A and B are shown apart, each in its own frame.
Chain A
Amino acid sequence: MRFAIPLVVLVGLLALFVVGLQHDPRELPSPLIGKAAPAFDLPVIAFPKAEIPPTRMTTADLKGKPKLVNFFASWCAGCQVEHPFLMQLRVSGQAELVGVDYKDADKDVRAWLAQRGNPYTPILADLDGKVGIDWGVYGVPETFVLDGNGVIIYKQIGPMTAEAWETKIKPLLGKAS
């Protein structure tokens, strides 16, 4: 009985530490979840062949089907990690991927995609990273999950994984559609 209170405090603290230590301090919750995707108007990188005249895409074009908006770059290491899984999503037709090439050179991203394959339809070019800022991107790769109304329902920070796809995103998309 004498130790009841200290024991409760100890167990409480341990629980707090277990929860606290599992948090990744680099993962910041996005204030954009539940809100409409921020407006943008970006040039489309036609791949493999450049299109003349070049086309553009805006936020309105995101509506319709649920989509993944994936911010990536050819210079980004995490993007190489997630690339095979994105290809898998594309090939199996499980998701439509919009790629936003973040602060990248046109020839670099073309070489990157030519070597690894292109999971995106379409690829947009955010040359100066301004759209990235509007979307609250602070480190590629980041993937936003949008429902059919163009509302952000989830944000994956860091490489997309099969686990995140199965346990978090798929259930959300099931609810949304």
Chain B
Amino acid sequence: MRYRFAAALFFSSVLGAQAQVTPERADIPLTAAQDVQFRALLPDLRCLVCQNESLADSQASLALDLKYEVRGLVASGKSDAEIKKYLTDRYGDFVLFKPPFAPRTFLLWFGPALLVLLGVITALAYVRKSRKSAVPTPAVDAEALRKLLDEQE
């Protein structure tokens, strides 16, 4: 009995942290093609609340709202690009899992390749330098060596 009370308390406090007014909304009807578009789009969109989840996975209140908005936009015949623009106008590039390819993101796209290039250049320079400065192997004095070996025997 006490456990049940504790559980009720726990769940009420968890739910209490959520928005309490979630208007009941029927799903906006989509055509088959729109449904495909809607399903393909959701995994590319980030839930802003639970940042590593996509809108497809998230059950956060805001994610449900955004899903509803996106559904409405799909139903009104908007293209993927238009829908993404709708979201980035409000929430910035972060809402997209894949950042756009633009001058301000060049560092992001090319940064890793630049680092690898830098590493390769450094490694090559190091190898070349160590090869140049390597101590030349001393010439073997064959006569002295033979003498030494003879002494051993």
Q: Which A residues are closer than 8 A to B by beta carbons? A: 25-26, 28-32, 38, 73, 75, 77, 102-105, 108, 127-130, 133-136, 138-139
User: Are the C-beta atoms of A133 and B49 separated by less than 8 Å?
Assistant: no
* A75-B16, A103-B61, A138-B62 as given contacts; A127 in contact with B21, CB under 8 Å: yes
User: Are the C-beta atoms of A28 and B48 separated by less than 8 Å?
Assistant: yes
Q: Main secondary structure on chain A at its contact with chain B?
A: loop
Compute how far the CA of A29 lies from the CA of B93 in the bound complex, rounded to whole angstroms.
Answer: 10
User: Are the C-beta atoms of B23 and A28 separated by less than 8 Å?
Assistant: no
Compute how far the CA of A73 lies from the CA of B20 in the bound complex, rounded to whole angstroms.
Answer: 10
B56 adjacent to chain A (CB < 8 Å): no
Residue of A nearest to B93 (CB): A31
* A25-B51, A129-B62, A138-B48 as given contacts; A31 in contact with B19, CB under 8 Å: no
Compute how far the CA of A108 lies from the CA of B21 in the bound complex, rounded to whole angstroms.
Answer: 10
Q: Which B residues are closer than 8 A to A by beta carbons? A: 16-23, 48-49, 51, 61-62, 65-66, 69, 88-92, 94
User: Are the C-beta atoms of A103 and B17 separated by less than 8 Å?
Assistant: no
User: Are the C-beta atoms of A104 and B21 separated by less than 8 Å?
Assistant: yes
Compute how far the CA of A96 lies from the CA of B18 in the bound complex, rounded to whole angstroms.
Answer: 28
Between A and B, 15 residue pairs with Cβ closer than 8 Å are A25-B51, A28-B48, A28-B91, A30-B92, A31-B92, A75-B20, A77-B17, A127-B23, A128-B65, A129-B65, A130-B69, A133-B65, A136-B92, A138-B62, A139-B62
A31 interface neighbour in B20, B48, B65, B91, Cβ under 8 Å: B91
Compute how far the CA of A134 lies from the CA of B66 in the bound complex, rounded to whole angstroms.
Answer: 11
* A25-B51, A133-B65, A133-B69 as given contacts; A105 in contact with B91, CB under 8 Å: no
Q: How far is the CB of B52 from chain A (nearest CB, A)?
A: 10
Contacts A28-B92, A138-B48 aside, 7 further interface pairs with beta carbons under 8 A come to A103-B21, A104-B19, A127-B21, A128-B65, A129-B65, A133-B69, A136-B91
A108: chain B residues within 8 A (beta carbon): 20
Q: How far is the CB of B62 from chain A (nearest CB, A)?
A: 6
User: Are the C-beta atoms of B22 and A103 separated by less than 8 Å?
Assistant: yes
A30: chain B residues within 8 A (beta carbon): 92
A32: chain B residues within 8 A (beta carbon): 90
A127: chain B residues within 8 A (beta carbon): 21, 23
B22: chain A residues within 8 A (beta carbon): 103
Compute how far the CA of A108 lies from the CA of B18 in the bound complex, rounded to whole angstroms.
Answer: 13
Query: 7 nearest interchain CB pairs?
Result: A138-B48, A103-B19, A136-B90, A31-B92, A103-B21, A136-B91, A28-B94
B89: chain A residues within 8 A (beta carbon): 31
User: Are the C-beta atoms of B88 and A104 separated by less than 8 Å?
Assistant: no
A26: chain B residues within 8 A (beta carbon): 51
Q: How far is the CB of B80 from chain A (nearest CB, A)?
A: 19
Q: How far is the CB of B105 from chain A (nearest CB, A)?
A: 14
Residue of A nearest to B88 (CB): A31
